[in-house]
Structure 1
């Protein structure tokens, strides 16, 4: 969960969503005793902020007391975060995404469906799409002025009471996007194979987008986005994005692409900060968007995640090495399954034992790579001290019991003996693994992160992720 939140902020940075603070219009201040101009204190870079925070001492509280205090503060935070569950606008956006998944549409008039992410990232596309609950489909009405969706605000509703409209201004950047991938097929009539061609959508990225969401005739949200581009590159040079929800939430992002891109984002509720992201990356943005996404393009990254007034999660990440390690992990050899079911020497127990070992190894290496490449520290924002390092451990997860096949020797229609899955063979336990977050305190004790940040925070995080996913492009 933490990695998702952190990498979300880094992805924003790698898409050149960042904050620029080069200019200042503040008046020059003078020293009242000398009347000399006061030299401004240079603003710290993100790297300097991270370095300074990591130099803070560990809390002087014994770990046992620190754990009690941490739990109390975490619960205080969860009380506020839990309020997000009641956001009607977020629920409506989620339901729109689900309905588009149920009945894909093609706003470009091509061959296949588009997703909600593309609604706010295209220009010169028009049409009114109304949800037909009886047939579970979208009904399109032609329009030359707007892109509109009429749908139920909640999954439990059968009538359409929400409307989202989007209007945009085109930039000069035209992109080509795969609509439907080509695929091989077999033609029984000609007894030969064939290949369907890949279809593409081509559209201009917007330089500005204004959208609004109404529920029961009342405005529930507004979305404003601006972006500037250069040299025909689809990664924006500058980017500003703001969603304002009438039930108190405001989500903002802003940024500027450069040799060292830094993204900032915040989620507030009635003016009170719930979450804040600051992520910096030396990634080669345009290189990452090329067809050959070499790990060397990813560079390094730093991140700060602020959780209300309580906590800061500091991240120091080597994304290039992490990408290389992930590639090596994907190349980890899985065991080969027995192919000839008429071979009496097949050892299925050995095969499934090897599969379990593969699952275990994959999870352990994933955890090792994370701990090596992504250094996380939990900081008490109020105290200004380290609470604990955040690490990942590989642990047993879901398991189930299956029956091994049996060697069937009776003569069936003159056939040969073979291995047969009849549910009566020896029982064998299949074990899966997962990576879980732990807090590692100064005395080296480790406590599951979920012990403090309970399912309530997990529910919020999922809702927040779904909300951001809907508009992440």
Structure 2
């Protein structure tokens, strides 16, 4: 159940963005006005053409990243660290790209040996340096990333060598059981207050990455974290998170030569630490969330949700629906009935306490609402028969049906027509779909 609530928050988070630096400061009033904007007079098919045009413009901007030498250099560093993971803290732990931006007091010069496909380390007392090919197909070490970090007082344990177990036969139980052979070995590292990385390609400055963190009460999760990526070929990305404010806020902005491509704004009154780190979260930990996303100059998605109320009502109602008894002849009937009731309730509560809309900022009208429906998502027949007070394998002569229901999201237009999101955004969107797939393939390299 917790995954459902975190999914709602994530859905809000994914649909949270802003147009430019001024948009990051947009007041809740403007967001509310857009949430309650009137419907566009365009038909669903006309809206589809308009959305496709907007989305193509975005993909065109994204496509330009394929020509960024600095972005390719960062991607190749990630690629080479996956081919041959290193240990930057002196133990046996294997580290990747994200790790090198999350440590301090770590030094060394790592040079890529293309002949043996491994990193070779030499001593450095000043910083952490990587020298490697800037292009994925390259063989010459023409890229250099140099990282300098300042340490925070926050010291954490990371697993250097995990616990090791061995399976040993236990005559008392009649089967093999895991026996601890050696305990885990931990490394202690200081988390960074700041990290500054410079990127050079062929000796020319190509970009900079800076990270600034603020910690409270020896908590290893920063209360405030800012990341800024600035590339000399026009791209800039800034991500800000502040859990110290009330509500907690997060924002991001991606620009190209000063023009906004993508960004988000997100705020939540929920206890984010408790939700992520504790399995015994209460309904009050979920709070409320608001989101705003804009893409280029016009297309926007806005949302608000009372996750606390959804949680409270769902927990109350779900507990009143008994778990089916497997050792009963009506187990599968009641299993299917319970799955449907819970899915129906989730959809009902989402529509009651959440609002997500597609809007045109230029036209100041609503394109469509996003609503939830409960649907049968799978139905499977399994060869079991109720015999002699238990369920037995039927050898394929008798089958029981297992049905699973889940929440699906639909787009609702001004004429009250409702179309499944996966249907609406596939039919008539073939060219856009191909562009998106090409771009995702590029990002996944």
TM-score between the two structures when normalised by the length of structure 2: 0.72
| Offset at residue 105 of structure 1 (A) | 1.9
Separation in 2, partners of 1:383, 1:248: 29
Q: Aligned residue for 1:24?
A: none
SS in 1 for 2:425: helix
SS in 2 for 1:83: helix
Q: Aligned residue for 1:228?
A: 214
Q: Does residue 369 of structure 2 align to residue 389 of structure 1?
A: yes
Q: Aligned residue for 1:138?
A: 119
Partner of residue 67 from structure 1, selected from 37, 48, 70: 48
Separation in 2, partners of 1:180, 1:300: 40
Q: Does residue 261 of structure 2 align to residue 283 of structure 1?
A: no
User: For the structure 1 residues 4 and 312, does the alpha-carbon distance in structure 2 shift closer, same or farther, using more than 3 Å as the test?
Assistant: same
Q: Aligned residue for 2:151?
A: 170
Q: Aligned residue for 2:414?
A: 442
Separation in 2, partners of 1:2, 1:284: 15
| Offset at residue 134 of structure 1 (A) | 3.3
Partner of residue 292 from structure 2, selected from 299, 304, 313: 304
Is contact 1:335-1:358 (8 Å) kept? no
SS in 2 for 1:203: strand
Show structure 2 runs of 5+ residues with no match.
Answer: 1-6, 170-175, 327-331, 384-392, 394-401
User: For the structure 1 residues 160 and 75, does the alpha-carbon distance in structure 2 shift closer, same or farther, using more than 3 Å as the test?
Assistant: same
| Offset at residue 335 of structure 1 (A) | 13
Q: Aligned residue for 1:271?
A: 258
SS in 1 for 2:54: helix
Q: For 1:99-158, what per-residue CA distance to the aligned partner results, in whole angstroms no more than 9, with x for missing partners?
A: 323322221123321231121111101122223333333222222211122233333333
In the TM superposition, 1:184-333 aligns within 5 A as 184-186=165-167, 193-195=178-180, 196-256=182-242, 257-288=244-275, 290-292=277-279, 294=281, 296-320=284-308
Moved more, 96-105 or 239-248: 96-105
SS in 2 for 1:73: helix
| Offset at residue 163 of structure 1 (A) | 2.0
Is contact 1:9-1:263 (8 Å) kept? no
| Offset at residue 309 of structure 1 (A) | 0.5
Is contact 1:121-1:206 (8 Å) kept? yes
Q: For 1:314-346, what per-residue CA distance to the aligned partner results, in whole angstroms no more than 9, with x for missing partners?
A: 0223445778979x8xxx99999xxxxxxxxxx
Q: For 1:64-84, what per-residue CA distance to the aligned partner results, in whole angstroms no more than 9, with x for missing partners?
A: 433333333333333323323
Q: Does residue 358 of structure 2 align to residue 378 of structure 1?
A: yes
SS in 2 for 1:113: coil
| Offset at residue 2 of structure 1 (A) | 12
SS in 1 for 2:80: helix
Is contact 1:84-1:460 (8 Å) kept? no
Show structure 1 runs of 5+ residues with no match.
Answer: 13-18, 22-42, 337-350, 405-418, 420-429, 468-473
User: For the structure 1 residues 396 and 141, does the alpha-carbon distance in structure 2 shift closer, same or farther, using more than 3 Å as the test?
Assistant: farther
SS in 2 for 1:283: coil
| Offset at residue 266 of structure 1 (A) | 0.4
Q: For 1:262-309, what per-residue CA distance to the aligned partner results, in whole angstroms no more than 9, with x for missing partners?
A: 222100011110012110011224434645562543322111011011
In the TM superposition, 1:415-454 aligns within 5 A as 438-447=410-419, 448=421, 449-451=424-426, 454=432
Q: Does residue 123 of structure 2 align to residue 123 of structure 1?
A: no
Q: For 1:190-234, what per-residue CA distance to the aligned partner results, in whole angstroms no more than 9, with x for missing partners?
A: x98432423333222222111012223332220122222232223
Moved more, 102-111 or 360-369: 360-369
Q: What is the alpha-carbon root mean square deviation over aligned residues? A: 4.8
Separation in 2, partners of 1:147, 1:438: 49
Is contact 2:228-2:237 (8 Å) kept? yes
Q: For 1:399-443, what per-residue CA distance to the aligned partner results, in whole angstroms no more than 9, with x for missing partners?
A: 9xxxx9xxxxxxxxxxxxxx9xxxxxxxxxx99999876532122
Is contact 2:374-2:406 (8 Å) kept? yes
Q: Aligned residue for 1:104?
A: 85
Number of matched residues? Answer: 409
Separation in 2, partners of 1:124, 1:287: 30
TM-score between the two structures when normalised by the length of structure 1: 0.68
